[in-house]
A and B are shown apart, each in its own frame.
Chain A
Amino acid sequence: MADSHADDENRREFLYLAAGAMGAVGAAAFAWPLIDQMNPAADVLALASTEVDISALEPGQAITVKWRGQPIFIRRRTQQEIEEAAAVDLASLRDPEADAERVQKSEWLIVNGTCTHLGCVPGNRVSDRKGEYGGWFCPCHGSHYDTSGRIRKGPAPTNLVVPPYEFLTDTQIKIG
């Protein structure tokens, strides 16, 4: 009698546990679509590349184009800017990266113009402040970037990100 009572307890415990586990799995399965719907939708993902004609840019000029809703800086660097970027001692950098690793053609610097601190856009017009290293200056919290888009001073943790891009022709690039 006592044995069958203990059996009942075990059976009941097992049923509670099994039912509870099934309920938890079901709840998680139902929760996932509700969470994942907030991730980028198919149409947003589809807008993944942008083609740009860069034939009009003179050395020293830069343009901003929009890719995935973010600003992409395309800068045709002057010879002096290229030399400055190449001459930097990598050990002195917060996020060490050689200039050669950040460009495909040394004249063209293409970076995502989103400050790696908190997402502001440093000024990219000729009249904007360029900061102490001649690249970009972020007005929000004072990050200075050099002519290779590397972080040199201020709160940003990493260099401006180089987006995936390819030269379709000498004057045509595809970002993304």
Chain B
Amino acid sequence: MEKQTYSNPVIRWVDDRLPIFSFMDHEYNKFPMPRNLNYFWNFGALASITLIVMIVTGIVLAMHYTPHTSMAFDSVERIMRDVNYGWLIRYIHSNGASMFFIVVYIHIFRGLYYGSYKAPRELLWMLGVVILLLMMATAFMGYVLPWGQMSFWGAKVITSLFSAVPIFGESIVEWLWGGFSVDNATLNRFFSLHYLMPFVIVGVVVLHVAALHVSGSNNPDGIDVKGPQDTVPFNPYFTAKDSIGLGVFLIVWAGFVFYAPDFLGHPDNYIPADPLVTPPHIVPEWYFLPFYAILRSITFDFLFIDAKLLGVILMFASIAILFVLPWLDTSKVRSCRFRPVYKWFFWLFVLDCFILGVVGAKSPDDPVFGVEWFKYVHLGQIGTAYYFFHFLILLPILGKMERPLPLPTSISESVTGGRSDSAAGAATAKGEPA
């Protein structure tokens, strides 16, 4: 990192002692970005901004929320009715959770399509999977806090997953609950952890971005940056591009907040929690549906593992498998643009995730499209099998068999078709050697 000489004496004084200005200039102003990035590269920035909005609105909500089983529901209703702008802040926060997952899922599928998980970005990708897991835990515990029927029964079902652990299962669940059922002790610790975990996420995001700034961004062609002719500085090129994406994103978010604030929620969560009555149809929030479908699709024992434990194992494995993805995909080519066969399997995998999501929302015994012998649980079993087939069998084999298309020799060549162009000229004019 080259030291800047600032003309402002105060900035210079600080920068000499703690080079934050040089650091920001290097990492966010001049930082070289591949010049062929498309709008799918907005979503990392959008996720960061969403995280900040969630933390700010969450801290404010915690000023009015009461984490006690007898008062939690009422305190949330008080936020909605009496606290100044409480309705707005809560709807931003509750819809923000969904927005966060939309953005992060697109960000992940972007990485899958363009091979962003491959060398040298494996650790960057794995840190991302850690962030996803932390987000899921945080979202789950946050959903419990309003202490509605879905909050309570969601908490009960998900914590009961751990009872599938052999021998220690019951003890683990009682330890998680702090009692013999989901109760006040559970609510209190979920509140404590829901407040803590976003800051843990911030910590891992810092590592994620630090790792990103070592290797630099991947790009739609999936080829390495060869020199300054392949890059443009982050500012103004991507501050501008990210701002456009942010504008669109905030319109969507505001659309939900102001016009359909409960569209992504569940009406049963406006009924106070009742530990003695389970709602007839309990479903998790939409962002957990594919994983819930995998959990429920296992209705059979396998060797010495009973169905319940196997479902839990596969559900966790469906995310854990992402950690080893960089080594499962044997293809040397990163981007799907140059992988004519994998490209189709990628979209098949996306479709599979959507189907699992639909299955997760349905009752397992309901017939699919009215076909009596074909239930949603069967569709879920096929979807689950394909999910793991994609990672464990298809990706290792396809990388060896597939003949990729010829790669462009450089990013600038692929952008300009070999002509020298004005953008490259602009970069040169800014004093960077071409």
Write the residues of chain A forming the contact surface with B, with a CB cutoff of 8 angstroms.
35, 38-41, 44, 64, 66, 68-71, 113, 117-123, 138-142, 155, 157
Residue of B175, B181, B279, B296 touching A38 (CB-CB under 8 A): B175
Query: Could you tell me if B181 and A39 are in contact, using CB atoms closer than 8 angstroms?
Result: no
6 contacts between A and B (CB under 8 A): A40-B174, A41-B178, A69-B183, A119-B157, A140-B278, A142-B365
Write the residues of chain B forming the contact surface with A, with a CB cutoff of 8 angstroms.
153, 156-157, 159-161, 163, 174-183, 185, 189, 275-282, 296, 299, 306-308, 311, 363-365
B185 neighbours in A (Cβ, 8 Å)? 40-41, 44
Given A38-B175, A38-B189, A40-B174, CB of A120 within 8 Å of CB of B153: yes
Query: Could you tell me if B276 and A121 are in contact, using CB atoms closer than 8 angstroms?
Result: yes
**Residue of A whose beta carbon sits closest to that of B309:** A157
Given A118-B157, A120-B278, A140-B278, CB of A69 within 8 Å of CB of B307: no
**Residue of A whose beta carbon sits closest to that of B156:** A119
Shortest distance between the CB of A96 and any CB in chain B (Å)? 15
Query: Could you tell me if A155 and B308 are in contact, using CB atoms closer than 8 angstroms?
Result: yes
A157–B287 Cα distance when bound, in Å, is 28
* A68-B179, A68-B181, A142-B365 known, 18 other contacts, Cβ within 8 Å: A35-B175, A38-B176, A38-B178, A39-B175, A40-B179, A41-B178, A41-B179, A44-B183, A69-B182, A118-B161, A118-B163, A119-B159, A120-B157, A121-B275, A121-B276, A140-B282, A155-B296, A155-B308
Given A69-B275, A118-B161, A155-B308, CB of A44 within 8 Å of CB of B180: yes
Shortest distance between the CB of B148 and any CB in chain A (Å)? 16
A138–B365 Cα distance when bound, in Å, is 13
Shortest distance between the CB of A148 and any CB in chain B (Å)? 21
Query: Could you tell me if A118 and B156 are in contact, using CB atoms closer than 8 angstroms?
Result: yes
Shortest distance between the CB of B242 and any CB in chain A (Å)? 41
Query: Could you tell me if A71 and B306 are in contact, using CB atoms closer than 8 angstroms?
Result: no
A140 neighbours in B (Cβ, 8 Å)? 153, 157, 278, 282
B181 neighbours in A (Cβ, 8 Å)? 68-70
Shortest distance between the CB of B292 and any CB in chain A (Å)? 10
Query: Could you tell me if A157 and B306 are in contact, using CB atoms closer than 8 angstroms?
Result: yes
